[in-house]
Amino acid sequence: MTAGVSAHAAALDVEKDQLKLGFIKLTDMAPLAIAVEKGFFEDEGLSVTLEPQANWKVLLDRVISGELDGAHMLAGQPLGATIGFGTKAHIVTAFSMDLNGNGITLSNDVWQKMKANVPKGADGKPVHPIKADALKPVIAQYKADGKPFNMGMVFPVSTHNYELRYWLASGGINPGFYSPTDVSGQIGADALLSVTPPPQMPATLEAGTIYGYSVGEPWNQQAVVKGIGVPVITDTEIWKNNPEKVFGVTDDWAKKNPKTHLAVVKALIRAAQWLDENNNANRAEAVKILAKPEYVGADTKVIANSMTGTFEYEKGDKRDVPDFNVFFRYNANYPFYSDAVWYLTQMRRWGQIAEAKPDSWYDQTARSVYKPDIFLQAAKLLVEEGKSKEADFPWKSDGYKPVDNGFIDGIPYDGHKPNDYLAKQPIGLKGDQKIEGGQVVGG
């Protein structure tokens, strides 16, 4: 490194050098753990304490109160908070932590009933992706028997909620609506979705309280290891290379600590690079780090099941899913406006956004929360310091990905036209529709 570059690198005079960052015990908190363990935060002049949080609501509340400087967040959390769904606060993100990483698991009993409707390949194994069409008659039977079909997801604005809803709806199953007076999300539902904290999912499934769930790792693979459930689909099969978690801070914190924010993003970019470099060569080491009790605290075999490029569906049916966890490639860390808009469309689709909004509103809201300019500033510094490659970042992006055809229902998504996208969904609010008195009304 030249003297000039070293001087430039040292010029980031952080406003705050002691930080406390929150996370939930999931595999995709990995960039935070790696940035600590590999000294990437330290390289930026930061002393970082990572603190596991009880659940997503507590995590968000503590970021808003200032008890935490920032946190590993659900992609929908900064958006939901900023528009005032649930807790109202302006949260921003300049770093998307990963792509993919979730799955949908069903109880053994439900899977056995559903399996009869799933096509088999020449090897006798189920053909993937498994569509929710195969679950529809099972849910109809439960309904006929007077049993509610209960499923778990991690939080109302979680990717897991929207992916589970997307999958169910693509098979003609209504996952229910929210309204300003009923935030259960179960209005008119065929499957009743409710919140279950991720680490409690397997036990709740085993107890029979829920018949299935949508969650991140290692909690799908835990069901396989315990022999209590079968993951039927991964989120990359529902929406290929979907954004998952983000690193979130309050807008006020970002404005007060711009250099500290840049330093954190720089360290996280380096951690993400490390996790994906040389065809995931570092993943085995990452698994050992994540297995530590202060991070995810799950068995190494359970974490490795998905983290090292494979995924086990039915016990013994382990398949190659090289992109199950993506931390850097495919511009995973760039906070695309089009990703934010997709989450907002799902909030509108299911009634969390009660009234119709023009396309311009979606764009403005995305820009108020997602901060690609800060991300690129951090990336530029890393390139100048010789720690990152210029070719690895989308310098000329307008923040919108091209039209995306990677969804299980084949409906193309154009982030510039959110209302057109909503209009194409067979189940869900569109146009001026809203929920009144437990019914969909309007045109």
Contact 170, 132 (CB under 8 A): yes
Which fold does the domain 18-100+242-335+371-385 belong to in CATH? D-Maltodextrin-Binding Protein; domain 2 (3.40.190)
From the list 134, 131, 219, the residue with the least C-alpha distance to 408 is 131
The pair of structure tokens assigned to 319 is: 């398949």
- The amino acid occupying position 319 is R
Task: Count the Cβ atoms, other than its own, within 10 Å of residue 179.
Answer: 18
Q: Which are the contacts of 330, defined by CB distance < 8 A and separation ≥ 6?
A: 99, 241
Question: What's the burial of 61, exposed, middle or buried (CB within 10 Å: 0-12/13-18/19+)?
Answer: middle
Averaged pLDDT in 10-residue chunks for the chain of 443 residues = 40 92 95 98 97 94 98 97 95 98 97 97 95 98 97 96 98 97 97 93 97 94 96 97 97 98 98 97 97 94 89 93 95 98 98 98 98 98 98 98 97 98 98 95 87
- From residue 210, how far is each of 115, 135, 178, 344 by CA, in Å? 19, 15, 20, 27
**Residue 369: half-sphere exposure toward Cβ, Cα within 13 Å:** 32
pLDDT, residue 11, reads: 59
Angle at CA of residue 377, ends 340 and 68, nearest 5°: 65
Q: Give the ranges where 133-174 is alpha helix by DSSP (H).
A: 136-144, 159-170
- Identify the residue whose tokens are 């001026």: 432
State yes or no: cis peptide before 198, omega within 30 of 0. Answer: no
- The answer to whether 225 touches 302, Cβ cutoff 8 Å, is yes
Question: What does the pLDDT read at residue 197?
Answer: 86
Q: Residue 92: which H helix or E strand, with range?
A: strand 91-96
The pLDDT value recorded for residue 7 is: 35
- For domain 102-239, say whether CATH 3.30.2350.10 is its number: no
Other C-beta atoms within 10 Å of 53: how many?
Answer: 19
Whole-model pTM: value is 0.96
Both structure tokens of 279: 């065809």
Residue ranges, CATH 3.40.190.10, the chain: 18-100+242-335+371-385, 102-239
**Amino acid code (one letter) for 408:** I
What single-letter DSSP state applies at residue 188? T
